[in-house]
Amino acid sequence: MNSVSADGLRAVSGTDASESERVEQWGGLRLDAFDPKAFRTNAEIAVSKLERYLADSSIRGLTLTDPEILLEKARALMAEPEGRLGGLDEHRLGEILDLYIRTGIQVHSPGYMGRQFSGVVPLAGVVDFVSSVVNQPSSFYEAGQLPRVAECLMADELNRFIGWPQGRFAMITTSGGSLANLTAMLAARNDKLPRFWSEGAFALSGQPRPAIAVGEDAHYSVHRAAGILGIGDDQIVVLPCNGRRQIDIAAVQPTLQAAEDRGLKVFCLVASAGTTSIGAFDSLGELAAIAHARDIWLHVDGTHGASLLVSDALRHKLEGIEDVDSLAWDAHKMMFVPAMCTLLFYKNKEKSYGAFVQEASYVFEKAPDVVTEFDSAEQNFECTKRPMIMGLWVLWALYGPRLFAEKIEYLCQLTGKAHAVLEDEPEFAALHEPEANILCFRYVPSNLPHHRLGDFQVAIRNRIRKEGRFFISKVDIEGLAALRVVMMNHRIHIGHFQALLREIRTVGQSILKEWAAAASENEWAFGACRQPERLRTSV
């Protein structure tokens, strides 16, 4: 590394100058915050705490704290006003990291069964840590050379499981599945309604109204994207689901035809590969045939389930994927890397440049050279973008696809076993056969008044979240709340699921007792469950 000969810098790097002299020389700049030795000390504090955290395989739920209390606690850990500050307070750093680690969701515990982000492969976290220190944003090759190269390599690696012709498709990384859905739908709109980008809604006067078609269970980000794109809720054509909560293929043509007859032009159909609610997979091949016959772009929201492609045993869930136009795939879900890491694939590389059209002389070149040709900024929304591929690429480079396939297969099998356990429990009702690693069910004890069925599930979920050993979620299925588990952690085995059912039973029965007591005291019968659970007041 070149040394700089400025006097100040010599003094700073010399061993004779005291800390205060050095800081003095730089007008009070806190050089200790940039000191490589302090960096090592800080990192060692963090690593030893994380090692302990990762080694703890106990069943831990969420310690849900009253936000006011946590705010107070966090405020007390903030620096004193400038001037009264000493050197680095290692003790305080330790306290802050402890607070961070122990509050919030415990993704590495077998008690964590509630959401779709995962306990990460720790090595991916290590790479993320390096990424944060070297800070090489990855929209531009000049800033993040290896991340851009890694994106290209991972595009080819993952496309082996999709099956598009080499060199003709494109993959970008972007900040989350929601943004990937929006970006793909924007590319679709600009492709099918080419004047919209420059003329806006004026381009449409006298034309059929642009519309999108989505399955009943599409993620809310798809509806949000329709709003952002100026499509409007009224132009969202909802395709009904069949009994397995997939888009009902028999209903697609008639629904699209009815939309056309109403004066709508459906330009994009969004299918799901792994719905958020129950993990259902739409029939992609059949949808592609219908969509393309009608000149409709087929986008697949595979943020949750696209990872199943890497498993020989499970790939068939996405049969027909080679025929779709675009695919959103969250690696921060079932590829077990830290959020955010989302991949957006386009079958046709040229169309990946259709989402955004800008000129900006400070970054974009009219005539790309060998370097700028490698930039992705014209395809992705972000200007500065985290080098999110690095964790995934390093895992892939060192372990290969089996690391992911094995864990995904384990989690899906475990969910199947959990379903079998429920089938043997007369007081529990499974709501579907699991397609992947999501399972929804209800606790329906014989002493539950039937009209309280939905409220009861919500009350159980909230009570467990507040004080239980598990973290689960809830979702409405056909308008009625249900309990939902998402198996994201290979530390969970079937005994943990059975323990969860015992906890649900215990918590459920005590809620029923409270409701009965409240009713007998003539309280408003719904009051007990509608009131928010009181949260912890200590942390």
Ligand X SMILES: Cc1ncc(COP(=O)(O)O)c(C=O)c1O
Contact residues toward ligand X (CB under 6 A) are 116, 176-178, 219, 221, 272, 275-276, 301, 303-304, 330, 342
**What's the longest Cα–Cα distance across the chain?**
83
Q: Which residues pair with 484 in a beta bridge?
A: 440, 473
Question: Nearest approach, Cβ of 342 to ligand X (angstroms)?
Answer: 6
Between 171 and 511, whose beta carbon lies closer to ligand X?
171
β-bridge pairing 297-301 and 264-272: parallel
CB of 181 to ligand X, least distance (A): 6
Torsion 527-530-536-537 (CA) sign: negative
Q: Quick one: 59 or 280, whose CB is closer to ligand X?
A: 280
Shortest CB 437 distance to ligand X, Å:
12
Shortest Å, Cβ 179 to ligand X: 7
User: For residue 329, what are the β-bridge partners?
Assistant: 343
Q: 3-state class of 212 per DSSP?
A: strand
How far apart CA 112 and CA 485 sit, in angstroms, is 9
In the bound state, the residue with its beta carbon closest to ligand X is 177
Q: Which is nearer to ligand X, 144 or 177 (CB)?
A: 177
Query: Smallest gap, in angstroms, from Cβ of residue 279 to ligand X?
Result: 9
Tell me the closest approach of the beta carbon of residue 158 to ligand X, in angstroms.
17
Give the separation between CA 525 and CA 173, rounded to whole angstroms: 50
- Judge residue 188's burial from the number of C-beta atoms within 10 Å of its C-beta, 0-12 exposed, 13-18 middle, 19 or more buried: buried
Instruction: Report yes or no: 128 and 391 within 8 Å, Cβ to Cβ.
Output: yes
Q: Considering only CA atoms, which of 155, 149, 191, 157 is closest in space to residue 170?
A: 155
Q: Which of 485, 388, 383 is nearest to 140 (CA)?
A: 383
Tokens encoding 244: 């397995």
Residue 191 is classified by DSSP as: H
CB of 200 to ligand X, least distance (A): 26
Nearer to ligand X, 116 or 283 (CB): 116
Query: Minimal distance in Å, beta carbon 308 to ligand X?
Result: 13
**Which tokens in the block code for residue 319?**
């049969």
Min dist. Cβ of residue 139 to ligand X (A): 18
- CB closer to ligand X, 310 vs 504: 310
* Of 272 and 283, CB closest to ligand X: 272
Nearer to ligand X among residue 346 and residue 443 (C-beta): 346
Q: Which is nearer to ligand X, 387 or 508 (CB)?
A: 387
Least distance between ligand X and beta carbon 344 (Å): 11
Kindly state the smallest distance separating residue 272's Cβ from ligand X, in Å: 6
If the CB atoms of residues 30 and 115 are measured against ligand X, the closer one turns out to be 115
Query: What is the distance between the alpha carbons of residues 161 and 318, in angstroms, rounded to a whole number?
Result: 10
Beta partners for residue 281, in sequence order: 273
- By beta-carbon proximity to ligand X, the closer residue of 111 and 279 is 279
The distance of closest approach from Cβ of residue 444 to ligand X in the complex, given in angstroms and rounded to an integer, is 26
Contacts of 437 (CB under 8 A, 6+ apart): 279, 334, 408, 411, 412, 414, 415, 486, 487, 488
Helix (H, G, I), strand (E, B) or coil at 390: helix
SS3 state at 178: helix
Number of H helices, E strands in the chain: 18, 11
DSSP code of residue 165 = P
**Cα gap 214→280, rounded to integer Å:** 14
Residue 440 bridge partners (DSSP): 484
By C-beta, is 154 or 529 nearer to ligand X? 154
Q: Which is nearer to ligand X, 220 or 362 (CB)?
A: 220
Tell which phi-psi region holds residue 336, choosing left (phi > 0), alpha (psi between -120 and 50) or beta: left
For residue 403, which of 123, 179, 48, 20 has the smallest C-alpha distance? 123
Residue whose structure tokens are 């599930």? 457
